[in-house]
Structure 1
């Protein structure tokens, strides 16, 4: 795995290089001490960019936003002293995969880079499966499509399990809707939950209530994770991709007793997020 480092402190760059080398996490293909490095990154084609948030000439979030438009497969880990929840939320929205707080902890850096490496490996495997199956005959293409769909559905079930939603009455409804969307290559902008409910011979109102209760359980669980450890990997990955991050913060404040109402759930946002996470 090729890694590019962006940090205005050369001591930090050298420290990250040492961690990457000591733990055999990949190869550092280049570094920059400021934000004028887009062309270098495009030229070197790294798999992963470690980027500081506050650097001269161009901030880390802007760099991520520009690079995501060029290469959607490029991964980002942001490393910064900034601990503002709003700033971290903005960074995730921009496209980073993980956030690490300074001062740098070697074990934390190792674990996060290994997670990103696993994610890259999974995506590459999925692309290879698609490529292999697309080159086969029509009957094999049908089988390939089913295999890929099954992988996505299993990944969705795993995500729900991570959120502590397994066994909730609405879990099977969520999985069935996702399965329908995946099998028909649709998204919720092209149909509606009511239409899918009717197709599945379900009462839309009852289905909505079951799913809402299940997602509320997931929201509560991820909010508890955030309270216990703001850098928890499950919290980092899913707090903004499956929920509105503001509602996660509202739920955290509700649990702390700082507000009277809990965070709100958005079924469409949650299901869209599951489909997107199943594709990566």
Structure 2
């Protein structure tokens, strides 16, 4: 029988011990980051509730944080189920007492289909039996109605922090060569959305009302690997013709601000490679050039906005490693 030398055994033990120490240090660092830097978490939310007032209240609360995106809402369980099979959702807020199918039945059906976001259940019924059934179904937290905004915001941040910790723990396990035992849906898509939001910050349009619309649409494109022209706005995002028109107008106004900001940067750094790349991929160089000429007073008309060019270019930029 071949015996491993004591020296080799010692080296193997030392290498393994170093990796464990590195992982331990990384874990301590992650704990600090999660407590003090939760502002950097990018989360996709879905709301299922048959009360439109609750949906509006939660939407305002969630989208008040730029790092959050609502990728869908539904007033009936079947629609929510169909959407969850298509979308990447990190946190789902679901009402217990929806008609036809209860919130608990919806969660069980989703888990059976291997769709497993984190669940926050809301209910005006808060007896012990209901709570027990909800937790046994796999929810992360139970909120009583009427919704307390401060409590809801706090719970969302806690669950988001746990999700981020899970993601980073997976990376640590990969670093030390172990298989990652923690589950997090599509971290690659999350990284793409992170890059997209960095680009929107660079363009200076995160404060524009159309920015959340941009994030919602591009998140769908990332999750389903769609081009802009492939999106069925009516069935997937539930936009009727009037809503679609209003949303597109908001987006165009936001992109006009971004185009103007990019053109102003070109005045100072006309040869910058990053500016050139964004000009070509997001707006088309000709449109940025026309916007520059307008800023210089050479012509009255600036650049034009093409939603398809912008969204398809933004999707491509999210894939490019910087």
**TM-score (normalised: structure 2):** 0.41
**TM-score (normalised: structure 1):** 0.46
Q: State which structure, 1 or 2, has the greater radius of gyration over its C-alpha atoms.
A: 2
